[in-house]
Amino acid sequence: TQAIFFKGVSFPTYDGISYMGAMIIGVTLLVLPIYFPMWGGMFFGPKEGATEEDYYLSDFTEQEVKEGIANSVIKFAKEAASERTASRRPAPVTLQPGGNLTNV
């Protein structure tokens, strides 16, 4: 934004600051509709029962999960869930032989 509003003589400094402020507000408004089911968004809290495993494993088919293709994603989802506060952590999930997910 500095190169747009402060380089050259096209805008006086006070106009550049005003336009830069409007641009910051405009770009910030683009973040408002972002919503993650397990964490929530700017206006709504998390969806009840949504987990990191559900979110990250939605990219894989059941067959891919059973074949072990998604094992690294399951590990990542567990690590992501462990970063929640203790009161919001879901029950641990393990990968059983055969690719079945179960709560411990």
Spell out, as residue ranges, where the chain has pLDDT lower than 70.
Answer: 1-2, 4-6, 8-9, 88-104
- Residue closest to 66 by CA, chosen among 96, 87, 93, 102: 96
Per-residue pLDDT at 14:
82
Per-residue pLDDT at 96:
63
Written as six digits, the tokens of 62 are 């059941």
Per-residue pLDDT at 92:
62
pTM for this prediction: 0.54
Q: How many CA atoms within 13 Å lie on the side-chain side of 40?
A: 8
Q: What is the sign, positive or negative, of the torsion defined by CA atoms of 8, 13, 19, 23?
A: positive
